[in-house]
Chains A and B, each alone.
Chain A
Amino acid sequence: MHDKTLAELSRLLAEGSTTSVELTRHFLDRIAAHNDSLNALITVTADSALAAAEAADAQRAAGNAGPLCGVPFVHKDIFCTDGVRTSCASKMLDNFIAPYDATVVSKLSEAGMVCLGKANMDEFAMGSSNESSYYGAVKNPWNPDCVPGGSSGGSAALVAAGLAPAATGTDTGGSIRQPSAFCGITGIKPTYGRVSRYGMIAFASSLDQGGPMARSAEDCALLLQAMAGFDERDSTSVERPVEDYSASLGDSIEGLRIGLPEEYFGEGLDPAVAETVRAAVAELEKLGAVVKKISLPKQALGIPAYYIVAPAEASSNLSRFDGVRFGHRCDAPADLEDLYKRSRAEGFGEEVQRRIMVGAYVLSAGYYDAYYLKAQKIRRLIRDEFLEAFNEVDVIAGPTTPTTAFALGAKTDDPVAMYLNDIYTITANLAGLPGVSLPCGFVNDMPVGLQLLSGHFTEARLLNVAHRYQQVTDWHRRMPAAYQ
């Protein structure tokens, strides 16, 4: 069962070949057998999962089950789940039982999905390797000495290892796409504003976006359908109808214009990764796509602009963790300032503290214009450059990451080296664009991700292109030997 896609499991449920209870038990057993070695889940909610599975089976028996009804999955531990610990992989929230459900959580519950637990991640989604988690690093199922990527590293690892057919993720600078690439799964970051951020613990509010992670584009289409939509409780949610993502999956891509930016194939890219991605693009050409070289010179500004905007917003968002209303509180505070400072020093890990401090600095009097305002202007230049490119091409293709998954501990002492991992993913967040990463081959037995970007609200096109590719390739069906 665990080598099947979500869409296949959905069909088995629909034809009565299996039940939600059977699937849920199977995946809970998988988690029990493998989570100790992978460390992909922080919390397992076996009892509530089995209760939800029974309810889903009853709903199906009553004849009103949708395609996701009864399908097990895992939430990234950044989504608030009423009555269940929502830690954001931080000591700060180790004792935090969320008092309400995030919109994404209620939407997937309403669709009848069965949540098996909460996935490990980088602390407050800040990281590219899942090594900043308070609960320890997640291992890459393809090689336990390598990172799974981050910040949605637990989500990616558990899907790759078949501990669940799908997981939710969030992407602020690449946190869905980069771990999807490192673990050989498919993940989509929707257009900014497409999926509600209500109840998704905020890191950088103008960049954060939730999305699905699963085996295939077809799976992601089903999940995104349930996750997307306007939500009045998120002030940046976009009031616009949701397309039918599954309906156009099989459409022909004859004549599709694919842009290959020279900047995505330059210095720093592993030549073997480049070759693998070029082969994937050639496959799309065989399906009728037309490839065109383009140039996006402003892309190089993405990382510096991001490391101003994201920490600035993080320093503001994370000021709510004050040791007063919820979360970690230090022992015996001498005064209010001591309460704030020691609770935050004890509750936040090193990377989170670093980003809060960078943010506090770039927003401080005398530096705001030189840093934050400047970065916001650069953001416009980057977005406009993309929009101009999308006059010429429909989709931009390239590698998701410059290399395959790197070794655990390789970059933990050098924050800037870690940041450079997101060089191809980060600009989509700055521009608010949707992006998908899908497996397109292996280098030294580690998965390689192909990234596809397109214009605002064209998720259906991205999923269509990804699905067509997956119909003629089987990279997305590969599973690591230890977890088959």
Chain B
Amino acid sequence: MTLGIDDVKAIAHLARIAIDEETLPTHVKNLSSVLALADQLKATDTDGVEPMAHPLDAVQRLRDDVVTESDQREKFQSIAPAVQDGLYLVPKVVE
């Protein structure tokens, strides 16, 4: 898979990472080489093979639907970049 500049811009948007225009060619080259590595799988026949998400084929455990955590909002918000009145602050979303 060889990517173009526009592909990398689209991927960077999906990943929510700002990319400088001048570094784009390096990203194109490196991402293309990683995907070329990944493309080596295409030659292997996997018809009828079940995808494996967990090496021990385990499934998610369930637990009783009861509260197990205590409220630690102040502790957690003490490391936040911007909070006010117990709320996390972000730039205005709705005009």
Interface residues of A (CB under 8 A from B): 95-97, 99, 192-193, 206, 232, 235-236, 238-239, 301, 303-305, 307-308, 311, 315, 319, 322-329, 333-342, 344-345, 348, 353-354, 356-362, 364, 370-371, 373-381, 383, 414-416, 419, 430-433, 456
Contact = CB atoms under 8 A, between A and B. Distances in A.
B40 A380 contact: no
B50 interface: yes
B91 A377 contact: no
B79 interface: yes
A355 to B, nearest CB: 8
B59 to A, nearest CB: 10
Nearest to B61: A235
A303 B62 CA distance: 33
A interface SS class = helix
Given A329-B81, A357-B11, A345 B18 contact: yes
Contacts of B27: 354, 357
Interface residue tally on B, bucketed by range = 35 or more
A194 to B, nearest CB: 10
Given A304-B39, A361-B14, A374-B42, 4 more contacts: A193-B56, A338-B18, A379-B55, A456-B55
A406 B33 CA distance: 22
Contacts of A335: 91-93
A354 B31 contact: yes
B56 A192 contact: yes
Given A304-B38, A415-B30, A381 B46 contact: yes
Given A308-B41, A377-B52, A238 B33 contact: no
A154 to B, nearest CB: 23
B15 to A, nearest CB: 4
B36 to A, nearest CB: 8
A354 B53 contact: no
A334 B92 CA distance: 9
Given A338-B91, A356-B15, A380-B49, A431 B55 contact: yes
A339 B55 contact: no
B35 A378 contact: no
Nearest to A315: B15
A360 B37 contact: no
Interface string B76-87: 101111100000
Contacts of B42: 370, 374
Interface string B14-37: 111111000000010011011111
Contacts of B30: 354, 415
B38 to A, nearest CB: 5
A432 B56 contact: yes
A77 B53 CA distance: 27
> Across chains A and B, which 5 residue pairs bring their CB atoms closest together, nearest first?
A432-B55, A376-B51, A329-B81, A380-B52, A341-B18
A99 B16 contact: no
A337 B52 contact: no
A326 B40 CA distance: 38
Contact of A380 (B17, B50, B90): B50
B17 to A, nearest CB: 5
A419 B39 CA distance: 15
B52 A307 contact: no
A326 B14 CA distance: 21
A357 B12 contact: yes
Nearest to B49: A377
A336 B31 contact: no
Nearest to A321: B16
A483 B17 CA distance: 42
A304 B41 contact: yes
A89 B76 CA distance: 21
Contact of B82 (A305, A329, A354, A358): A329
21 contacts: A99-B72, A192-B54, A301-B44, A303-B37, A304-B39, A305-B41, A322-B16, A324-B80, A335-B93, A344-B16, A344-B18, A354-B30, A357-B27, A358-B34, A360-B11, A362-B38, A374-B42, A380-B49, A380-B51, A383-B55, A432-B55
A372 to B, nearest CB: 8
A371 B11 CA distance: 15
A354 B52 contact: no
Contacts of A338: 18, 91
A239 B58 CA distance: 11
Contacts of A239: 61
Contacts of B46: 374, 377-378, 381
Which of B15, B18, B61, B78 counts the most chain A CB atoms within 10 A? B15
